[in-house]
Amino acid sequence: MSANNTSEIRQVASSSQQKASAKQGKQQKDSSTKYYLPSRETLSSLTSIPFVDTHTHLHYVLERLESTPLRLDNYSILRDTHFPSNLEFCINVLCDPETFAGDTLFPNTFRDWRIQASEPYIYLAAGVHPHNAKVYNDYIESLMLTILQHPKTVALGEIGLDYHYDNSPRDVQQQIFIRQLKKAVELEKPIVIHTREAEQDTYDILTKHVPSHWRIHVHCFTDSPEFAKSLIEFFPNLYIGITGVVTFGSAKNTQNTLRDLPISRILLETDAPFMIPSKLNRNRRSNEKVSVCHSGMIPFIAEKIAEIKGVEIGEIMRAARENTRNMYGI
């Protein structure tokens, strides 16, 4: 790696770390808050059916835990002490360029994607998030392609459009989205989509640049039911990812989408460390708070989906597991 390339990646990493530090500092201001993680018994109480978290950011989960009084700086500790035994595996999504060069910037740490891939419970996806589209270049693409060649990397993503924050200019987001879609098709890789408040542009770009038979995971769906319907009608192998946001009272779009969405098109995901299922913070003392979302909380997402669909949780769990096989081949 040249000095220029190292400097470039370090600048991206520094920016990401500053944002993370700001979030962590905000968490630490309230010294009276007692952070905790639900026990394995609590997370195993809803179902014994095997499940998969199809979208998580494990490196950020560990960083978030280190910012609270509860310190867990090793993935195996988290897995062995807090993940329920029926969690088969998770797909760790690398979407910041800094994570692509983990072996250089963070050697021998869990932020090195090669170390993640060595864990039997972890598969990978890699792609540049729309927030980072403005820094995408040939070198970053070459790092991404190296990860995509690894046998445990099952998809390209998350990629797409985010018009809510506009961290990158919209025209740049669109250009980089198209460029990565073309790579996914060239490499015959399934695609993970991030789309927020960009329904028409996302639909137009996908339908123009991706064959209709392609396997697509639209992750953390929060857009309109009409958008979901148009996507699943055009792409018969497209799945809608549902996170803990479905448990929030404000998540009307996601809840309404689920009412008409076939169970055969649902994937379960946490998008951890974000969107802790609301039930896990219910009935706690006012100064107690779940410290972070993680893959073991998937059953609480499935429980809410089952409630909305009027079916048993087992039906959702089994269907989602089969959908994961169809989408990712694992």
Which residues are known binding-site members for a divalent metal cation? 55, 57, 158, 194, 219, 271
CA angle (190 as vertex; 189, 192 as ends), nearest 5: 125
Structure-block tokens of residue 52: 């998969």
What whole-number distance in Å separates Cα of residue 326 and Cα of residue 144? 24
Q: Tokens 């190292």 label which residue?
A: 6
The answer to whether 177 and 206 have CB atoms below 8 angstroms apart is: no
Contacts of 67 by beta carbon, 8 Å cutoff, 6+ apart? 23, 24, 27, 28
In whole angstroms, how far apart are CA 170 and each of 105, 162, 180, 201, 212? 29, 8, 15, 10, 25
Phi, then psi, of 45 in degrees rounded to 5: -75, -25
3-state class of 218 per DSSP?
Answer: strand
Binding-site annotation, residues: 55, 57, 158, 194, 219, 271
